[in-house]
A and B are shown apart, each in its own frame.
Chain A
Amino acid sequence: MRFTRGLGFSLLALGVALCASLALGAGDVTPLQVLRWVLGDDDGNAGFVVTELRLPRSCVGIVVGAALGVAGNLLQTVTRNPLAEPDLLGVSAASTTAVVIAILLGASVTTLQVWVAVLGAMCGCALVLAAARLRGVGDDPIRLILAGAALKGVLTALVSLVLLLDQRSADEIRFWTIGALAGRGYQELLGVAAPLLLGVLLVAFLSRPLAALALGERVASGLGHRPRLTRWLTLLAVALLSGVAVALAGPIAFFGLVVPVLARALVGPDIRRTLPLCVLLGPAVLLAADVVARLLVRPSELPLGVVTAVIGAPVLVAVVRAHRLPRL
């Protein structure tokens, strides 16, 4: 019952966000014009803006939001840490660094980029897992976050070094490293289809073993699952999904933290229920943030990463301030 209600709410939120994303924008095509175009009034301008600019952008937003929401949820479950998130743990930063180095070495923004991003995210994930399993750092949510912050610091310094040494790439990279959806379309979506599909398949197979793992390692083994394998495969899925997100939109701060928190608030901690909800809520929140980014400083746009950082910081504070960190 609770699950159905949560699902309904998320669907509604996604619908509203999608409509807003199609109807509102930084340009001067108003919602009224869009409505008239939908009702059949032949307005070439509105039609062009909606089908050629806002629709592809919204599609990219949906993919990025779903990927990041699911990746955040997986990462929180597997590290048993309510603060874990691809950006805070440095996974996104690792991915970004890999792409920046690829650009520096001469790769242009093509399909190659997504695999480079996935590879970088994998390295980041492996580091996170190593850190989490080493001497029980995983039991201490906050030390893991600090390790992530340190990793992020090192990688950001590397990217800065690259930007400094190579002015040519600097302008290409700078806007992208903040996180933005602008200027992405079907072409890029097609490029990330393969890793995205792979990640989705993995997640589909992983939800049951992960739910068992949440009961504890021994119980999971007793139920016939293999915790170690589950953990590695989960991190592979996280790497695939956050690599896709980074390749499409750059690193987006705090996003993987907000969505699972929302989902758990709606349907409780069971991952078999939160995962489908994240798929719906992720795009809803991302599209909403994107609309805000478009509207706030019209006629130009805010980078999306700025908006999500401003939304996510209060959530982080709220999670930390919660009397007892929720057990996962």
Chain B
Amino acid sequence: MMQRLGARAGANRRQGPGPGRGGTSRSDLSPRDAWLLRWRGHSLLLPRRSLLGLAWLLLGLVVVFIASLSIGSMPLAPQRVIAALFGSGDPLDIYLVRELRLGRLGAALASGAGFALSGCLLQTLTRNRLAMPDIIGINNGATAFAVASIVALPMSFAPPMLALVGAVTATALTFALAGGVGVRGYRFIIVGVGIGAVFGALTNLMLARTSIDAANAAFPWTVGSLNGSGAGAQIMLWIGLAVCLPLAMASTRGLSSLRFAEPVALGWGVRVARLRLFALALAVICAALAVAVAGPVGMIALIGPELARRLSSHRSVPVLNAALAGAMLMALADLLGRTLLAPVEVPVGIVTALVGGPYLIWILLRGDSPRAL
């Protein structure tokens, strides 16, 4: 029985050698909402909706990218931005765009992608739409350790490394105390809320006990800001994304089986326990590196995957789309924070909390939807 189930699940994907050769064609066996791509006996099934979603996200990303580079204390016309990007044009423009604005935008894009990827994995893992690194304490753990490295310890420890350690500590604690992910992940989430509160209290404690100057220096960072992100942390985040995103994409099929009851996934030959641990590790690494760059920015991990899910076919876990949506949203939030109250710069974490919090409450009050991922 199990084997037949598995064979049928595979049959959807593996098409036998068909009449069409090269190019795209649709056979009767292919699902309706997908394009079938064949080339010399190899075939690839491309889900139409997800690809359209990907196209929309890329378009949005380009728009936000250009807008974010052109808007600022010294506005630039988009064509001058594009020229400066490719190295031609006014030297001042090139300096402004490439040296000043591009770095910050890169931090925004990378951290947004990291948070959203982490949220997407956690939500799949716990089968709960509300699981995200800031609610289950990963962000607070990473922040507490990173702030400790700024405020309490000698500077020789790099904040990004300690953020990673803190995130792993918080997750391990939550995982151990909740006794696994549990049914629908609710217990995991509530225990995470508790652990997060403890780490938040410790962060506050460290900030309250240091000198006012140090606290003021660390304060914008603790609410989530792209202002002081170092180049080293950003490079580590990009490397982490370059490793984690392909890994997550490669395990999409296994991940999507986690949405079913465990016996079903086991019957398909998915090693559930190992896959869970793997996905959890990816989620923690992404969230921790993102915190190291941007501080504990919340809600991107909720809204990014949500947007991606809207734009994707519901068969698969939209890993890539979630990362892109997160990057776009983060850049947008940073742009808003920089421009809305302009000379004062509102940290991106405050913008996302003020926008995302009501959205989260709305999801919760809307009724039974949080149960259905």
List A contacts of B10 (CB < 8 A): none
Q: B116 → chain A, closest Cβ, in Å?
A: 17
* A-B pairs with beta carbons under 8 A, tally: 132
**Measuring CB to CB, which residues of chain B are less than 8 angstroms from any residue of chain A?**
130, 134-135, 177-179, 186-187, 189-191, 193-195, 197-198, 200-202, 204-205, 207-209, 212, 215-216, 219-220, 223, 298-299, 341, 344, 346-347, 349-350, 353-354, 356-358, 360-361, 364-367, 370
Among B202, B220, B223, B361, the residue within 8 A (CB) of A150 is B361
- Stretch of A13-21, A163-171, A188-196, A238-246 that contacts chain B: A163-171
15 sampled A-B residue pairs with Cβ under 8 A: A83-B190, A135-B366, A135-B367, A137-B364, A146-B193, A153-B357, A154-B353, A165-B341, A303-B205, A305-B204, A306-B204, A306-B205, A309-B198, A317-B178, A317-B191
Closest to B179 in A: A321
Given the complex, which residues of A lie within 8 Å of B360, measured CB to CB?
A: 146-147, 150, 153
Contacts A146-B135, A306-B201 given; indicate if A131 touches B365 (C-beta within 8 A).
Answer: yes
Q: Are A313 and B198 in contact (CB under 8 A)?
A: yes
Contact A143 B364 (CB under 8 A): yes
Known contacts A300-B209, A313-B197, A321-B179; A157 and B365 CB within 8 A of each other: no
User: Please, which residue of chain A has its CB at the minimum distance from the CB of B225?
Assistant: A164
Within the assembled complex, what's the spacing in Å between the Cα atoms of A320 and B174? Answer: 12
Please determine whether A135 and B347 come into contact, CB atoms closer than 8 angstroms.
no
B270, chain A: closest CB distance, angstroms: 27
- Please report the C-alpha to C-alpha distance between residue A137 and residue B350 in the assembled complex, in whole angstroms: 27
**Interface flag for A161 (CB, 8 Å):** yes
A164 pairs with B177, CB closer than 8 A: no
Q: Would you call B219 and A163 a contact (CB within 8 A)?
A: yes
What 6 A-B pairs are tightest by C-beta distance, nearest first?
A154-B357, A157-B353, A309-B201, A150-B360, A313-B194, A316-B194
Residue among A143, A150, A171, A312 with max Cβ neighbours from chain B (10 Å):
A150
A284 CA / B212 CA spacing, docked (Å): 33
Q: Is B215 a contact partner of A302 (Cβ separation < 8 A)? A: no
A265 to chain B: which residues have CB within 8 Å?
none
Q: Given contacts A157-B353, A157-B354, A316-B191, is CB(A164)–CB(B197) below 8 Å?
A: no
B361 touches A303 (CB 8 A): no
Q: Using Cβ atoms and an 8 Å threshold, which residues of chain B touch A135? A: 365-367
A313 and B140 CA atoms in complex are apart in Å by: 14
A257 to chain B, nearest CB (A): 10
Cβ–Cβ < 8 Å partners of A150 in chain B: 357-358, 360-361, 364
A158 CB–B CB distance under 8 Å:
yes
CA distance A306 to B347 in the complex (A): 25
B188 nearest in chain A by CB position? A320
B135 and A305 contacting across the interface, CB-CB below 8 Å: no
Contacts A143-B370, A160-B350, A163-B219 known; A153 to B298 CB distance under 8 Å?
yes
Is A149 a contact partner of B215 (Cβ separation < 8 A)? no
Q: Is the CB of B353 within 8 A of A253?
A: no
Q: Are B357 and A151 in contact (CB under 8 A)?
A: yes
- How many whole Å from B356's CB to the nearest CB in chain A? 8
Q: How far, in whole Å, are A313 and B190 apart by their CA atoms in the complex?
A: 10
- 13 more A-B residue pairs beyond the given contacts A150-B364, A174-B215, A303-B208, with a C-beta to C-beta distance below 8 A: A153-B134, A153-B298, A153-B299, A154-B353, A156-B353, A164-B223, A167-B216, A170-B216, A302-B205, A313-B198, A316-B191, A320-B191, A321-B187
Nearest-CB residue, chain B, relative to A157: B353
Chain B residue numbers with a CB within 8 Å of A129 are none
Query: Which residues on B sit within 8 Å (CB–CB) of A320?
Result: 178, 187, 190-191, 194
A202 within 8 A of B: no
Could you say which residues of chain A place their CB within 8 Å of the CB of B177?
317, 321
Report A-chain residues with C-beta under 8 Å of the C-beta of B208. 174-175, 178, 303
Please, which residues of chain A bring their CB within 8 A of the CB of B201? 178, 253, 305-306, 309-310
A39-62: which have CB < 8 Å to B?
none
Given contacts A154-B358, A157-B223, A164-B344, is CB(A134)–CB(B205) below 8 Å? no
